[in-house]
Amino acid sequence: MTLLASTIQTLGTTKTIRKREFRAHNARASLSDIEKSAIKTLAYYQVLGQYPLTALELYRYLHKESDEQILLSFYNFLKLLEQSPAINKTVDRKNGFYFLKNNERFYHQRIFRQKVAIAKWKRTRRIALLLAACPFLRGLLVSGSLAFGNTKRQSDIDLLIITEKGRIWTCRTFLSFLLQIIGQRRHDQVIENKICLNHYIAQNSLAVSLQNISNAHLYSHLIPLINYQNFWLFQEQNSWIARLLFSYPQSKQNCLRRINEESLIFKLASLLGRGLELFLCGFPGRLLERKLAAWQTKRIHQKTNWRALKEEQLHLGEGSLLFHYPICRNAQVMNEYRKKVQALKLT
């Protein structure tokens, strides 16, 4: 009798578990594209840097599930965040910030990191005024954690550099030299608040070759410091980002940190840079570019195991230079993001 009762109880428990699994499966299957987009976006920013988002930020950075997907109005999106059972099951909120369940501690971290970013922005803008003295510099764009507003106190400051066509190595040499002179260049273990020049692109090579969701977020957050026109060109030539994110380009928000190009310091620095360009134009400039390219390439090869590095870690081309070694953050984030999406059963 006891065995029969035990068997019936086991069958009943199994049936209950199967019902729960069935309901859970149906709940996932009934997720709308916009609900998936919201949860995936929060998952990405958690992987990127434990980064809670406000409702407006979540709306602006929202992933696009397909080309046919239609973006809700912001009002309806807010209603969805409040009323969706699927979102409420997966997402928590505090003081207007949204994050995946059991991650409330990151709310306090974000508030602190925003304060750190404010101090770093003041420093970055002062340095950028001096960098205008470099010849063949056509754009300075802040990227990385500072552009996201989620920077650690010990972090460096990432800049994407736009250069004149055919002068990418010359520009790199002058930038590195100037930063070294003023003590602001990142090198070895000297990292905190130093300038990291890890990406150069020439005016004729603004399109990014590696197209994935991580790079889409990285480049959609770029903040121009000088030469806004080339920032616009960069956005136009990377229109592929609009296939992955709804709100691209985000030009109005991204231009608020621009340097005052009418200031006396900027004008004097720019005048010096233009004077150097006149001196380095024509054949002497082309010869110097070839010599600097050969010399710097040799030094980079000597300092790295370059044959073992992938294209997204080290790229030395005529139109672009990329230095993301030894750790490629893009590949790392993409790998962790895929695992997180699979854990949330959103694939």
SS3 52: coil
Res. 5: pLDDT tops 60: no
- 300 within domain boundaries: yes
pLDDT digits (tens, 9 = 90+) for 52-106: 999 999 999 999 988 888 899 999 999 999 999 999 999 999 999 999 999 888 9
- 40 within domain boundaries: no
Looking at 265-269, 288-292, 309-313, which range is the least confident one? 309-313
- 305 within domain boundaries: yes
Report the pLDDT value the prediction gives residue 19, as an integer from 0 to 100.
44
Instruction: Record the pTM.
Output: 0.87
- 22 within domain boundaries: no
Q: CB-side exposure of 77: number of CA atoms within 13 Å?
A: 20
State how far the alpha carbon of 93 is from the alpha carbons of 54, 89, 101, 200, in Å.
Answer: 9, 11, 9, 39
- What range does the domain containing 274 cover? 116-328
- 86 within domain boundaries: no
- 257 within domain boundaries: yes
Give the orientation angle of helix 168-181 with respect to helix 282-303, to 10 degrees: 70
- 186 within domain boundaries: yes
**% of residues, the chain, pLDDT over 90:** 71
d(CA 221, CA 273): 28
pLDDT digits (tens, 9 = 90+) for 107-142: 999 999 999 999 999 999 999 999 999 999 999 999
Res. 260: pLDDT tops 90: no
Q: Which residue has the tokens 């802040």?
A: 142
State how far the alpha carbon of 292 is from the alpha carbons of 43, 168, 188, 289, 332, in Å.
Answer: 43, 10, 22, 5, 32
Looking at 21-35, 154-168, 279-293, which range is the least confident one? 21-35
How many distinct structural domains can be found in the chain?
A: 1
CB distance 163 to 138 below 8 Å: yes
- 174 within domain boundaries: yes
More confident residue, 273 or 13: 273
d(CA 302, CA 199): 20
b or e along 43-56 (b: 16 or more beta carbons within 10 Å of the residue's beta carbon)?
bbbbbbbbbbbebe
